[in-house]
Structure 1
Amino acid sequence: MESLQETSSALDRLQQRLREMLERIRRLEEENRSLHTRQESLVSERAQLVQRNEEARERVEAMIERLKALENAG
């Protein structure tokens, strides 16, 4: 049978382990929030880049059409 001191020591170790686990959970939650924020930012940035690319493509196509029209008129 365990002595009172052994039981107390085991409880102290358990308490320390629980503190470590809680700290790890806190850090993981913080990291998770940060990653979600970064992901939202990247998704938004990507949408803007896709839009800018589409606008550039439309301008290039319009220029090509104008050049073709000039070529046909000349």
Structure 2
Amino acid sequence: MIADMFDLDAELARLENRIDILVATCERLRGENRVLKSTIEEWMQERVQLSDKTEMAKSRVEAMISRLKSMGHE
């Protein structure tokens, strides 16, 4: 009977330890997830900025090409 209680206490202690490990793992993963979401947001903003710069550069190059073509027809 006493041996059964020790076994139960030991099993409960192991279970409690596993739960503590799972809680710590969840907290760590939540933190990593927050960092990753923030990084993704920053990259998305940078992507938009780079896309805007690319479009501006494209427009400027097209305008220069048009001016060069018109200079050739004069």
Unaligned runs of 5+ in 2: none
1:58 maps to which residue?
Answer: 59
In the superposition, the TM-score normalised over structure 1's length comes to: 0.94
Matches within 5 A, 1:1-40: 3-40=4-41
* Number of equivalences: 73
Which 4+ runs in 1 deviate beyond 4 A? Answer: none
Q: CA deviation at 1:26?
A: 0.3
Q: Aligned-residue CA RMSD in angstroms? A: 1.1
- Opposite residue 30 of structure 2, the aligned amino acid is E
Q: CA deviation at 1:3?
A: 1.2
